[in-house]
Amino acid sequence: MVTLSVNGVECRYGSMKVLSGIELEVRTGDFIGIIGPNGSGKTTLLRSISRVLKPHVGSILIDKADVYSLKPLEVAKKMAVVPQDSTVGFNFSVMDVVLMGRNPHLGRFQMETPKDVEVARKAMELTNTWYLADRSVHELSGGERQRVIFARALAQEPKILLLDEPMSHLDLINQLEIMDLVKGLCVKNGLSVLAVIHDLNMAARYCDMILMLKDGQVFALGKAEEVLTSENIRSVFAVDAIVRKNLVTNSLYVIPLSPKRNSCEKKGTVHMICGAGTGTLLMKALVDEGYNVTAGVLNLLDSDFEACELLKIAAVTEAPFSPISDKSHALNLEMLENASMVVVTAVPFGFGNLRNLEVAKEALKRGIPTYVIDDVPVEKRDFTNGEATRLILELKEMGAIFVKHPYDLPSLLNSSINTSTVPAEPTNLAGHLK
């Protein structure tokens, strides 16, 4: 069932057009995120829907009724807004602020009933603000005040909730709690939500649909995997990004790449032996640190290969799903001629990519410092009947440095450069292998 319809909306501030041709349908239970760069019209769209800025052209309907033909109280019974600015002008108690959400349901001069107080209490419990009930709203932190404004909006018992940068004053735990709450209300109660969200990863994690705006127009509209592509992000935000699937949340996650890189002249070349997405974040970190990075051998459909393309990293490649050929293996060995260091990530090993470990052995024979990321024990990612485990143990015996966590590596490499020697294994970088 369509709850909210935006039909060909054009908005202006004076003679300046800021939105044009916006078409959108929000159905019962939808959670739609609005993303776009600053000035793309995100907040203007919410202002237009919430009757603050009447469209120059087009219409906005709630349950087939034009919002600008309805009385303000009628709209307030159906739609609530959480604005960017959570400032409250007067020194009200938190309970009084939340009870303001009940005003659309009260008659003229009517006081709140026990039912209204109960609705307010439930909204405060949902937003974890009940313990603040007797506090002055002016005594609260920005995050606490933002959650109180959420409670006020929920106390309206709306069918539609408009959120304008709802997480701007919240720390990480409160962001997740509020977004989980809102998503739960969509799923369980059929609440329809339209939210301006700057964090692309939050949008991908929680939103059913994403509306991407550029220059006041709809650039893309659809599911997260349809909208949040590297190409769209580059076109709209002028930033290269790697888009991957989060194995824990099963949602997309976006890794924006720095628009400028440090000079790699001062630091050496790191040759990466990686794959299956295990090298993506580390490659970006090393590039940002000023290293030249190479990689191999990667299959053409491997997610780490896509990262190489975006980061302009030279890589030895192999056909999709094919084992490493003699030619690719030879090219991978050639990469060692310019390598100052070699890094082996916690990549799953099968017989198809096992030869990459021979390259790591060769690096150690040539005296090239070799680091093995060991956050996932090799036994759990060895699909070669123990051959990969044997080779990893051999690397350790030959002097490879085992690194407990990938994020320890950049500082370890920098330390190696600064001292001009290969450092002894730090106490916090211990291998699992025995």
Least confident range of 24-33, 112-121, 304-313 = 304-313
- CATH code for the part of the protein at 2-255: 3.40.50.300
Task: List, for residues 175-205, the tens digit of each pLDDT value.
Answer: 888 899 999 999 999 999 999 999 999 999 9
Give the model's pLDDT for residue 90. 78
Task: Report the CATH superfamily, name and number, of domain 269-419.
Answer: Ribokinase (3.40.1190.20)
Neighbours of 37 (CB within 10 A): 15
Inform me whether the pLDDT recorded for 364 exceeds 50.
Answer: yes
Write down the pLDDT at residue 30.
95
pLDDT at 243 over 50: yes
The per-residue pLDDT for 427 is 31
Which residues of 1-113 form beta strands (DSSP E)? 2-13, 16-27, 31-35, 57-62, 65-66, 79-82
CA distance 299 to 290: 26
pLDDT-based confidence at residue 425 (cuts at 50, 70, 90): very low
- Report how far residue 178's alpha carbon sits from residue 151's, in angstroms, rounded to the nearest whole number: 10
Query: Which of 411, 329, 346, 434 shows the shortest CA–CA distance to 382?
Result: 346
Q: Where are the domains of the chain?
A: 2-255, 269-419
Would you place residue 264 in the very low, low, confident or very high pLDDT band (cuts 50, 70, 90)? very low
- Looking at residue 2, its pLDDT comes to 64
- Tokens 């290269």 locate to 240
Cα–Cα distance between 386 and 354 in angstroms, integer?
11
Do the beta carbons of residue 323 and residue 351 sit within 8 Å?
A: yes
pLDDT of residue 429: 29
Indicate whether 260 pLDDT > 60: no
The predicted structure's pLDDT at residue 141: 85
DSSP-assigned states of every residue in 118-163? HHHHHHHHHTT-GGGTTSBGGGS-HHHHHHHHHHHHHHT--SEEEE
Helix or strand run (H / E) with residue 224: helix 224-227
Contact between 158 and 191 (Cβ < 8 Å): yes
